[in-house]
Amino acid sequence: MSLLWLFWLSVSYVWQPVVFLHGGPGAGTSANNRRFFDPEFYRIILFDQRGAGKSTPHACLEENTTWDLVDDIEKLREHLGISEWQVFGGSWGSTLALAYSQSHPDKVTGIVLRGIFLLRKKELDWFYEGGAAAIFPDAWEPFRDFIPENERGSLIKAYHKRLNSDDMQTKLMAAKIWTTWELMTAHLIPNEANIKKGEDDTFNLAFARIENHYFVNKGFLPADSYLVSNIDKIRHIKTVIVQGRYDVCCPMMSAWDLHKEWPEAEFKVVPDAGHSANEVGIAAELVAANEKLKNILKSGGI
């Protein structure tokens, strides 16, 4: 038995494993994603999904579906020798967290969700087909105007064509504009440091291509209401939902619909926040949610 495995055995009884599921899809993880968890209690596992972050091939769309990712998460759990773990996901990460937990409810000790995204048609239409333009018209018009008028019947499909173009310059320009639209709307008050991430072609390409790929394919979900209709599978799992009142990317209608279907989950609305997990009020509620689940685990309540 290796010393590394002995070390894992020695800490596995102390640390609670938690898997962090990033947004996008395509955004990847970063070290500051660890800030929501007590490092003396949690074993924090940051997972770069297919084609994103440090995963290779970069920005790859082949064999990249919600169910491939669900399988990857389960394989990761098995690879690490973890019997069960907590699941944490925001934005697209909340979609994936629900899909994984509903597929493997016996492996999940607790769930923290942020910026609820159920990948329904009305949510995609809101953000990518003109609804959010009512709030951010200055950010919306460059996104819309990149596409010729005769192709604006479905901007998601029009961007899909360009994000998969054989011409690299077309692909990179489409990726930059797609990504910038989301970065400019992710905070209640636009965050310049966040928007500058859109200057990185490598980040843009993975973020835009993978995100668009999932949206063109309706998240690879069998039905529009699939995640809500399967709540009974996870109703018993201790869960906290955190939602910014003024979230433009993932508007509160989705969190509200989930809350009504799942009243057993604790529902926290942050009154002065938008979408980003890094907004002060949302970050504080996410830390509080993990502390609550930590205390329940320590007391033997889960």
Structure confidence at residue 8 as a pLDDT band (50, 70, 90):
very low
Spell out the SS3 assignment of the chain. CCHHHHHHHHHCCCCEEEEEECCCCCCCCCHHHHHHCCCCCEEEEEECCCCCCCCCCCCCCCCCCHHHHHHHHHHHHHHCCCCCEEEEEECHHHHHHHHHHHHCHHHEEEEEEECCCCCCHHHHHHHHCCHHHHCCHHHHHHHHHCCCHHHCCCHHHHHHHHHCCCCHHHHHHHHHHHHHHHHHHCCCCCCHHHHHHHHCHHHHHHHHHHHHHHHHCHHHCCCCCHHHHCHHHCCCCCEEEEEECCCCCCCHHHHHHHHHHCCCCEEEEECCCCCCCCCHHHHHHHHHHHHHHHHHHHCCCC
Give the model confidence (pLDDT) of 216-260 as tens digits.
999 999 999 999 999 999 999 999 999 999 999 999 999 999 999
Residue 201 confidence (pLDDT): 96
Residue 302 confidence (pLDDT): 59
Q: Report the pLDDT averaged over residues 84-105.
A: 98
Q: Report the pLDDT averaged over residues 256-269.
A: 98
Residue 190 confidence (pLDDT): 85
Quick check: 148 pLDDT over 60?
yes
Sketch out the chain's domains with CATH numbers. Answer: 3-118+220-298 (3.40.50.1820), 122-218 (no CATH)
Quick check: 12 pLDDT over 70?
no
Give the model confidence (pLDDT) of 45-93 as tens digits.
999 999 999 999 999 999 999 999 999 999 999 999 999 999 999 999 9
Structure confidence at residue 300 as a pLDDT band (50, 70, 90):
confident
Query: Model pTM?
Result: 0.93
Quick check: 3 pLDDT over 70?
no
Residue 301 confidence (pLDDT): 64
Q: Report the pLDDT averaged over residues 263-273.
A: 98
Residue 4 confidence (pLDDT): 42
Give the model confidence (pLDDT) of 160-171 as tens digits.
999 999 999 999
- Active site amino acids: 91, 247, 275
Quick check: 102 pLDDT over 90?
yes
What mean pLDDT is reported for the chain? 94
